[in-house]
A and B are shown apart, each in its own frame.
Chain A
Amino acid sequence: MATTQIAFTPESQTAWRGIVAKAWADEKFKSRLMDNPNKTLAEAGLSIPKGVNFVVVENEPQRVYLVLPTRPEDELAVREMNHVESDYDPGF
């Protein structure tokens, strides 16, 4: 499992929603957020993981960004499964 990927938490989602609302209401804040995302997000209370650079873009009615989610590092073995490590042999 990737350790650099940012954890999904209800708290970070709530914080991000607040930042979105503030950017809608405050053009100067929006400019700062788009020009210097890491600093502005940190000032707004978000914890910025080391080595991660945020890019903030804005959707418009005639220009919509589709974001490809981070490609998972872990492809799961679905053809050949390993024998389990537990002291139990599965019996249904």
Chain B
Amino acid sequence: MQSNNSEKLIEIEWAQLTAETVVIATSERAWLRRLDAFDSDDPFAQPMRCVGSLATTRNLLDGAISAAQQIAREAVSPKGARPQLTEARWVWRLAGYYRTTHATPRLMAEAAERFAAAGRHALARYALEKVRDESGHDELALADLRALGYCAEAVVVELVPPTAEALVDYFARGVRAENPVGCVGYAYALERLAVTNGRDYIRQVEAALPAGVRATRCLRVHSAVSADAKHVEDALEVTAGLPAEDRRLVARACYETALIACSPPPGGHIAETALRHRVAALKPQPSTQTS
């Protein structure tokens, strides 16, 4: 059976996320579907070969992230629920921010070199733009830690949140994979998730911190009030123009990145008491004057 009028074709994209699941996107919506066992002609069991469009690629990537969030939510036990925000918890989150933002310029520069060597100039330009856009964001996390009175350099050495560490490992593996295009999916997923944090969330964080302390620079830059919304569009534009196999790899990287970012760590969250004990040791005490 052949199609004889490409103008009448309904735009659709899909990507297999796991051995059994596929995300399917039109310009209006996205679905998560289990592949049928006995349908050897299942149209979504075959790799997509069609071209992308901004509307369908957006839903493909957002659908992949949403699928990961759904799976992460289903896996959350009472022990895994998001812990309440406290000053100690914010120090922990800032250590996580530092870990991922510190890795970005170095790994994206490596990706840019690999794209350029393969003659993939649009992807090389995108990666170099990310190096420029994201450089110095780790300094914002350090500045926030200092504003809270902590020895920032000691905090980021002593506190290594497992989720952030797993994300950086995943990012590095993607950059060094045979086809490094998954790094676009990693970037898209983290920036897309970042823009779900808006002014309300910034206010919640500020309310958990001592009055007058300005320690949300890093959060603001990675939120809906920053340029990250434009960065999401940049990644989308680059992805929509890629061949089908690359879009599949980007969608899969979105899914895998979001699954790491949205799931509680395998061992559960660090308890508040233990966290307070650890961060207290990283806050220099004011020296006492003796006469």
Interface residues of A, Cβ cutoff 8 Å to B: 1-2, 5-9, 12-13, 16-17, 54, 64, 67, 69-70, 72, 74-78, 81-92
Contact = CB atoms under 8 A, between A and B. Distances in A.
A33 to B, nearest CB: 12
B76 A85 contact: yes
A74 B34 CA distance: 10
Interface residues of B, number: 80
A5 B75 CA distance: 20
A88 B163 contact: yes
B134 A92 contact: yes
B53 interface: no
Interface in B213-254: 218-219, 221-222, 228, 231
B209 interface: no
10 contacts: A7-B34, A69-B33, A81-B65, A81-B196, A84-B69, A84-B262, A85-B262, A86-B262, A88-B93, A92-B190
Given A86-B72, A90-B222, A7 B20 contact: yes
Contacts of A85: 72-73, 76, 80-82, 262-264
A89 B222 contact: yes
Nearest to B59: A78
Nearest to A6: B37
A86 B163 contact: yes
A40 to B, nearest CB: 13
Contact of A12 (B34, B37, B218): B37
A6 B264 CA distance: 29
B37 A69 contact: no
B104 A8 contact: no
A90 B66 contact: no
A89 B219 contact: yes
Nearest to B223: A89
Contacts of B193: 81, 84, 90
A87 to B, nearest CB: 5
A88 B85 CA distance: 11
Nearest to B231: A92
Given A90-B190, A91-B101, A91-B222, A83 B201 contact: yes
A86 B264 contact: yes
Interface stretch (B39-47, B121-129, B283-291): B39-47
B36 A69 contact: yes
B161 A87 contact: yes
A26 to B, nearest CB: 19
Contact of B97 (A2, A77, A83, A91): A91
Given A6-B36, A16-B38, A70-B36, A92 B97 contact: no
A86 B267 CA distance: 12
Given A67-B41, A92-B130, 18 more contacts: A1-B34, A6-B37, A6-B38, A7-B37, A72-B24, A72-B32, A75-B29, A78-B30, A81-B62, A82-B69, A84-B196, A89-B97, A90-B190, A90-B193, A90-B222, A91-B141, A92-B104, A92-B191
B175 to A, nearest CB: 13
Contacts of B228: 92
Contacts of A75: 29-31
Contacts of A8: 19-20, 34-37, 45
A76 B67 CA distance: 7
